[in-house]
Amino acid sequence: MSLTAPLAHLGAMVLAALAATGRLALFAGRTLGHLLTPPFYLREFLHACLQIGWLSLPVVGLTAIFTGAALALQIYAGGARFSAEAVVPQIVAIGMTRELGPVLGGLMVAARVASSIAAEIGTMKVTEQIDALVTLSTNPMKYLTVPRVLAATLTVPLLVAVGDAIGVMGGWLVGTERLGFNSATYMKNTIEFLEFWDIGSGLVKGAVFGFIVALMGCYYGMNSGRGAQGVGRATKSAVVAASVAILASNYVLTEVFFSA
């Protein structure tokens, strides 16, 4: 093996990654194009809202309450090192609304929704249902992709809002039951401390993460390989790609929103 072989391998990997990014960007562009032109499938959209938004409430709620509770314990322990235990309500609130609410909510939705979209559309692809849609004069991008992407973009921020509230409640529960905070003071400190943009930025992140999740699910589903193995691979890739993209875009958005 020559010395340059690893370099060639690396180069090939970079090129493949760039090509995949390009294809994904084209797919996103086409989705946005179809979003603006009729026909629109209202029933599919409402169904997707139910599947993506409403049915994700339990997982997002559970994730939020345990995260808020653990956060309160950690901040209390950390704050105790420099006699700042009193900041628990404020830090729980800002941590949940700016970061943990959207990111953990987004990741849970990625696990639940990107996988199911990719598996569903991938199965439709391998059983020729996508071909059948085309022959029945229905554009699969409009009929399958647009409703899901739109529904996720609109409902994930709502999930994040609910998650924020539940997370703060988790902190409040631990704060009042375990750490000896006064209930009214805890709530007052939380509400007075939070600014609109703390919550608003998290909701914007939620919309971006929702878009990413549904887009990855649809993209990998539509490009699924043949057979059960192809669908399995598409599902896995959709979840991995959505999760990584959520974390990466979260960093970028945080830089844009909060760096001075």
Partner 1 sequence: MIQIEGVHKAFGANQVLRGVNLTVGRGESMVIIGGSGTGKSVLLKCILGLVRPDAGMIRVAGEDVTRVSRDAFLARFGMLFQGGALFDSMTVWQNVAFRLMRGKGRLPKDQAREVAIEKLRRVGLKPEVADLFPAELSGGMQKRVGLARAIAAQPEIIFFDEPTTGLDPIMAGVINELIREIVVEMGATAVTITHDMTSVRAIADHVAMIHRGKVRWTGPVAEMDATPDPYVQQFIHGRAEGPIESVR
Rule CB under 8 A: say whether 259 interacts with partner 1.
no
The one segment of 92-100, 124-132, 204-212, 252-260 that binds partner 1 by CB under 8 A: 124-132
CB of residue 36 to partner 1, shortest distance in Å:
18
**Of 46, 77, 128, 195, the one binding partner 1 by CB under 8 A:** 128
**Of 36, 136, 184, 260, the one binding partner 1 by CB under 8 A:** 136
Rule CB under 8 A: say whether 192 interacts with partner 1.
no
Which residues between 26 and 45 bind partner 1 (CB under 8 A)? 39
Nearer to partner 1, 133 or 204 (CB): 133
The span from the CA of 234 to the CA of 217, in Å, is: 8
The one segment of 57-65, 84-92, 121-129, 195-203 that binds partner 1 by CB under 8 A: 121-129
Pick from 41, 163, 149, 177: nearest CA to 105 = 163
Q: Is 194 helix (H, G, I), strand (E, B) or coil?
A: coil
Cα 89 to chain centroid distance, Å, stands at 25
Nearer to partner 1, 61 or 140 (CB): 140
The span from the CA of 105 to the CA of 87, in Å, is: 24
Pick from 2, 171, 181, 205: nearest CA to 103 = 205
The one segment of 89-97, 133-141, 191-199, 207-215 that binds partner 1 by CB under 8 A: 133-141
Q: What angle do CA 201, 206, 207 make, to 5 degrees?
A: 100
x/- string (CB under 8 A) for partner 1, residues 204-223? --------------------
**Of 134, 248, 252, 256, the one binding partner 1 by CB under 8 A:** 134
Residue 259 phi, psi (nearest 5): -80, 140
CB of residue 41 to partner 1, shortest distance in Å:
9
Nearer to partner 1, 48 or 107 (CB): 48
Nearer to partner 1, 124 or 245 (CB): 124
Count residues binding partner 1 (CB under 8 A): 13
Q: Do 97 and 194 contact (CB within 8 A), yes or no?
A: yes
Q: How many CB atoms lie within 10 A of CB 114?
A: 31
Rg of the chain over all Cα atoms, to the nearest angstrom: 21
The span from the CA of 25 to the CA of 29, in Å, is: 6
Q: Which two tokens stand for residue 134?
A: 């085309």
CB of residue 153 to partner 1, shortest distance in Å:
22
**Of 135, 180, 251, 260, the one binding partner 1 by CB under 8 A:** 135
Pick from 100, 97, 120: nearest CA to 51 = 120
Nearer to partner 1, 128 or 177 (CB): 128
The one segment of 16-24, 54-62, 74-82, 135-143 that binds partner 1 by CB under 8 A: 135-143
* Amino acid at residue number 35: L
Q: Do 223 and 124 contact (CB within 8 A), yes or no?
A: no
Interaction site with partner 1 (CB under 8 A):
39, 124, 127-129, 131-138
